[in-house]
Structure 1
Amino acid sequence: MAYSGEPILAADLLFRPEHSLIDQSLHSRLGEETTNGDGFGVGWYGEGTEPAVYKSIEPAWNDENLREIARQVRTPMLLAHVRTSTGTPVQRSNCHPFRHGRWLWMHNGVLHGFHEMRRELLLAVDPALFLDMEGSTDSEMLFYLALTFGLVDDPFAAVARAVGLVEEVGRTHGVENPVQMTVATTDGESLWVFRYSSERHSRSLFFSTEIATLRALHPEVEALQELGGDTRFVVSEPLRDLEGAWNEVPESSAGRVGPGGDEIRPFAPITPT
């Protein structure tokens, strides 16, 4: 789940919705796994130049410290993730979101054939970034490849080049469809999201309808009156069954939420030259 808008209590984002991310960690309806208990993480922006991150290898539904923190944290940008391991160890450094400088990154999906591709992908990471990698996941690898290809300057192009490299390396190892991903990344000002898979059958991803429209549709829903006009959610699964509230991000698409307005555009990998 990613939130962008006026500052709001993290508890209202993580625990209050009917089908909150914490509920999804136990009862996912659209995910590959029903239960996501291999750790979790929350990243948010507040004081200072870099975002804060809280991660644990405990299941999200069983962490009392998360509840305590969430009741006191108010933020305009929050990313939260519950994890099901796809083969790498259950350890804090492998929990999302990943952080580098002002940037946060989280990924839902898998790089098929990662074990075979890992060495070549590691060698493609900018040496200046290499020592900052902490974990062993395909998700963090994709983040550092995007950073290598210029995430800070042009997120759309950087992620396209990172995905193009993974597909190119995958082909050399006989991996037919190496990339399965939905991604959210932010610098604290704007939020970028991506939905793509090599087989054109990606995991689910939704964005919320404008709050003014939802208020007109559902004047009886008190929670909508409390949200700011610039509120945007991007989620793997809807947080509440509310007619007109959620829009599916199209297959092979990328989007941006932030200053200057929102946009959705087609997404295609850029093969390395």
Structure 2
Amino acid sequence: MVWKSEVDGQRLHFHLAGINNQNFIMQDEETRTWWQQVTGEAFLGPLKGKRLEPLISDEVSFATWKRENSASLVLQGIEKYESEYAPPDWDIKILKKPTVTPIDARDPLKPRDLVIGVALGKLSKAYPLEELKRQNPVVDTLGSAPLLLIIDPDGRSVRGFSRNLEGQTLDLILKPDSNPLILVDTETGSEWDFSGKAISGPMAGKTLARIQTLKDFWFDWKLYNPATSVFSAGQLPAAQSEKH
């Protein structure tokens, strides 16, 4: 996740201050305020109660990134610090580590299940990664906001979009056997790529607005979003459910 480093017109510089619930704690050098990584909220210090502004960011495979950004530069590690870098299989090893939050037997998911979290205003919803693989794309509504979640054929790269475009709400389906992934909207028949851009049809050249998503473990997402709902494959958007 990425946060804007400016608060009330002041540019802040952050460093690692500690770990809480296996989550990054930051401290800014200008005011010595402590900030929670996952929420962007200041919880100790002169700026307590302030929140950093989230910026749309990507967590995608290198193959997906390279396909969309063929001229991209790649940050190279520094050889003398290689021993301090996380190993390539860190995401597999961490699955074996115990969590530090209580386990509720009523939870629909296991603590280390990966979810794609979406928070809009006071509403939040967790989309289990395995459910997204079973139902791709996910056309849903959170509150009054029509949204779209799509997962790349690599099974790891996920993006979220608003389905509202120029006053119209779009329904999108996966074009069979498309790789790279292509979606088709049922309103105009336009085709859309993984970046949310229409590449053919009446909507060609238009782009869906991105929404912020967070790939997180269930135990962590629930801790900071205790009222979250959970998506299940085959579930209709709220607006459609009310019609049936």
The answer to whether TM tops 0.5 is no
Q: Choose between structure 1 and 2: higher strand proportion.
A: 2
Bigger relative contact order, structure 1 or 2 (CA pairs below 8 A, ≥6 apart): 1
- TM-score range (shorter-chain normalised) is under 0.3
Q: Choose between structure 1 and 2: higher helix proportion.
A: 1
**How does the TM-score come out when normalised to structure 1?**
0.24
Report which of the two structures shows the higher radius of gyration computed on alpha carbons: 2
**How does the TM-score come out when normalised to structure 2?**
0.26
